[in-house]
Homo-oligomer: A and B are copies of this chain.
């Protein structure tokens, strides 16, 4: 058996499940969560919203705290929620034990530097291995959109822009839009990708958007005005400025009063799922 089922809870007439599997990309055992809406239980292939979580998260934060299953059940969308890094005793972690690098902080890149390049290949895992696996095991259509929060918002935007044929739309909550110029991003990219900062740009949403002949993926972004990480880490206004300049289809919303927490995500996840549904 490729997948080991860890949990299965009936939820809004669908199934909220967790699975463990061995990842040959990451060279370790991985866990992901999936919500299968009622439509999927009848065997109907359903479209997917792929959710990438932020620093310190696992596959569980979103499925427990966002309240997304209610809307996914109504719209007939499966939710797929991977973990945020490779895991396990053999996987190296930040030697200082900080939350912003190593376990829980894979940043959705393919590490090139030792010792990180044995396990920290989250880009390939998210873009290739996990989609192939779940497409085989569950009644999913090939219509996928992608969303995420903070580090996962960075992942969602960057992955959608690099794979516009694979993702019909993209959205993000408080994403790190310019990691090559954020404290979190610089620390992680230096370790994973080395000192040559040119190699970092392939994983930076603002840099990618400056490329020629970019395919346009419809994009929604929500940013809380009271987000403590906005100025030093997220810099979401830079994405807005670039999209305005190149006429890229971004709906950019500043939500007054909201912070960086899951209470912010819960407040607007319905809008995001309905946005994606238009393209799925």
Contacts and interface: CB of A to CB of B under 8 A. Distances in A.
Interface stretch (A5-13, A83-91, A144-152): A5-13
B64 A67 contact: no
Contact of A259 (B9, B13, B70): B9
Given A70-B266, A263-B16, A266-B70, A10 B258 contact: yes
B226 A10 contact: yes
A262 B64 contact: yes
B267 A11 contact: yes
A224 B226 CA distance: 40
Most buried by B among A10, A65, A259: A10
Interface in A1-44: 9-13, 16
10 tightest Cβ-Cβ pairs between the two chains A and B: A67-B67, A11-B263, A10-B257, A9-B263, A9-B261, A10-B258, A12-B267, A16-B263, A64-B65, A11-B267
Given A10-B258, A10-B263, A10-B267, 7 more contacts: A9-B264, A10-B226, A13-B267, A67-B70, A69-B266, A69-B267, A70-B266
27 contacts: A9-B259, A9-B261, A9-B263, A10-B226, A10-B257, A10-B258, A10-B259, A10-B263, A10-B264, A10-B267, A11-B263, A11-B264, A11-B266, A11-B267, A12-B266, A13-B257, A16-B263, A64-B64, A64-B65, A64-B262, A65-B65, A67-B70, A67-B266, A69-B266, A69-B267, A70-B266, A70-B267
